[in-house]
Amino acid sequence: MAGHASVLEDDSLLSRIDTSLLRLERLLALISGLAVFSLMVLAVISVGGRNAANMPLPGYVDWIEQAMPLIAFLGISYVQRDGGHIRMDILISRLHGRALWFFELVSVLLILLLMLALVWGSWSHFDRSFDWSAPMWSRDSSIDIGIPLWPAKLLAPVAFSVLSLRLVLQAWGYGRAFLLGLKNPVAVPLIQDTAAQAAAEAEQLDGAIGNPGNEPNGGQG
């Protein structure tokens, strides 16, 4: 598994592109979180309507199916940026310097090849569903209330494309670190060991406790 990671920033072109893409990733992650909250609201409405008036929300399952791509795909690039995806790093965690950056670069390139294939396949899947001449531009719809399926199918290639851009940036960062022999490259997740995580958490805790702004009247009794 991956531990806690930090991503360094500076004034380089790579870092500026990284922070620009991060804003988009945060927006997509926010939309994904709102989708989760919306499903909770729909569940309350459906269950409440069923119990109170024997009238559950029409098309409840259809709306869940529409929201699944929002929940499953939109946040993956944001998590990739911070190195939060689960991975087996028994070997890589023992490497340092150029050897570490080389294996990270190879891993990212392999993932990128897979994601490009998924972008192509998911776009083809969306293209089969979308039709300008069809009602609501859709060749297929949900079973219960007839919601067009192409918006949900479009989310997959969009999210995978953003992830592909993130992987390109990380490949750039790892490649740059490998060629230049950098110790702490920018725009890539630097996995922290347990001691570093504990030190960072202790520093944050000390800062929160020692901040007078956290106490009433600026810390004065």
Q: Where are the domains positioned within the chain?
A: 5-198
Q: How far is CA 145 from CA 68, 125, 149, in A?
A: 17, 22, 11
In a 3-state reduction of DSSP, which class is residue 59?
coil
pLDDT at 81 over 60: yes
Better-predicted residue by pLDDT, 106 or 56:
106
Query: 31 and 70 in contact (C-beta within 8 Å)?
Result: yes
- Confidence at residue 210, expressed as pLDDT on a 0 to 100 scale: 60
| CA 98 – CA 145 distance, rounded (Å) | 56
Question: 6 and 189 in contact (C-beta within 8 Å)?
Answer: yes
Residue in this structure with the two tokens 């790892």, named with its chain if needed: 174
Q: Measure the CA dihedral 50/53/55/60, to 10°.
A: -40
What does the mean pLDDT of the chain come to?
A: 86
Task: State the Cα–Cα distance between residues 125 and 77, nearest whole angstrom.
Answer: 21
**Is the pLDDT confidence value at 51 over 50?**
yes
Asked whether the predicted pLDDT for residue 79 surpasses 80, the reply is yes
What does the pLDDT average to over 21-33? Answer: 96
∠ CA 162-163-168, rounded to 5°:
100
Is 195's pLDDT higher than 70?
no
Predicted confidence at residue 1, as pLDDT, reads: 44
**Model-level pTM?**
0.82
Selected residue with higher pLDDT from 205 and 25 = 25
pLDDT given for residue 202 in this prediction? 66
**Which segments of the chain does DSSP mark as H helices, in order?**
13-53, 60-73, 76-81, 97-129, 150-180, 194-210
